[in-house]
Structure 1
């Protein structure tokens, strides 16, 4: 890998991925909301940010997302569900990443292997859901999985060397998870980055359209 684009570079996982890659000599380009005013809920903002870049990139990694938006905590019951929370979660966690893929297509090579990866979450697996709750976040991540799986099928025809995947990083010790980690074991961002990059480096075009955890194990949809 020689070049990478990290979307959400100033977040916990995004920053760790970027730092790890730079330490390996990879030329990393980063985009973030805080530094570049990238708004993942605004397609014009995404188009403007990506349209100003010159590729190609061997890796495009989307590390954006939020568990709590405008104070809406993960729901424990149906009575806590609201249409606004659902819409906000979909806008940021499902629609934003797939629009990033849409506008990143000119930045992906067609003549050599490349990876487009977006952070998903195991809670977005419908088949693995045995606890219920967290309706908005679960549904948004399930939506992201469906969108990228569909995109991977299309892109296998136009970008036959590409692996387009969803990745579950585990529970990473960041501000994102601090309040909700509970009894789940956490790992620091640098370890999470190393594990995710190990999965990414092992991907081939045959893996496109799949959903993997940090150990490279496939997660059911």
Structure 2
């Protein structure tokens, strides 16, 4: 799909999936400009989900160029030494839960707050954030991973709210959360031993699948959680 005189934004472009998405978009050449942002980057490419000022600055920088018709928030927090996903209630920790909510839920919502207003109001636009199947309440049969599950469920609800609001000013806008599958990245590394054979995706393949899903999105998909095959996952 050609998007000449348009720009795309990848938030989390230094991560496994984010970097692959940025590379794929640049190689495709469908957008005139691909903006990659990350906490580890400096200057105009710096964006820290925990610092709203940096999100606002990134949006202001992007607004100076071609109109942004696609924003992808490719971030997530599952473990950070020595913290990891909880297996029982006794492992709950207030600070760890707050950090997971800040990165997995609040951060993407703040990206939407600052980037959606600079996106066109009269053409197809896509705002997508990486979620996870384990953020589905109805699909939860195993329990555990309390902070991660709950923060991704919060992200799904926030993006549903955003989808409803943005539709009022642009009936061609699409807002979704996407489950990329289990991808060979640092986030999944400690848990890959539990992944069935053939189900661990390399990051390049995952990026291309996600971009294919984005290309095929319809307005009726807005507000949904979809997997890497474009299939809806019920909240």
Give TM-score scaled by structure 2 length: 0.91
**Residue ranges of structure 2 left out of the alignment (5+ in a row):** none
**Residue ranges of structure 1 left out of the alignment (5+ in a row):** none
Matched, 1:16 2:20: yes
Whether the 8 Å contact between 1:69 and 1:89 is mirrored in structure 2 is no
Query: What is the 5 A alignment of 1:1-221?
Result: 1-2=3-4, 3-25=7-29, 26=31, 27-36=33-42, 37-54=46-63, 55-69=66-80, 71-184=82-195, 185-221=199-235
Greater fraction strand: 2
Cα distance in 2 between the residues matched to 1:114 and 1:201: 11
Residue by residue over 1:22-68, the C-alpha shift from the partner in whole angstroms, topping out at 9 and shown as x without a partner, is 11112211111111342101212211222222252121000112211
Task: Give the secondary structure class of the aligned counterpart of 2:41.
Answer: helix
- Alpha-carbon RMSD across the aligned residues, in angstroms, is 1.2
Question: Quick one: structure 1 residues 73 and 217, their matched pair in 2 at CA, closer, same or farther if it must change by over 3 Å?
Answer: same
Cα distance in 2 between the residues matched to 1:56 and 1:206: 23
Deviation at 1:70, TM superposition (A): 5.5
How many pairs are equivalent?
A: 221
Q: Which runs of 4+ in 1 moved over 3 A?
A: none
Cα distance in 2 between the residues matched to 1:169 and 1:202: 15
Cα distance in 2 between the residues matched to 1:212 and 1:43: 27
Give TM-score scaled by structure 1 length: 0.96
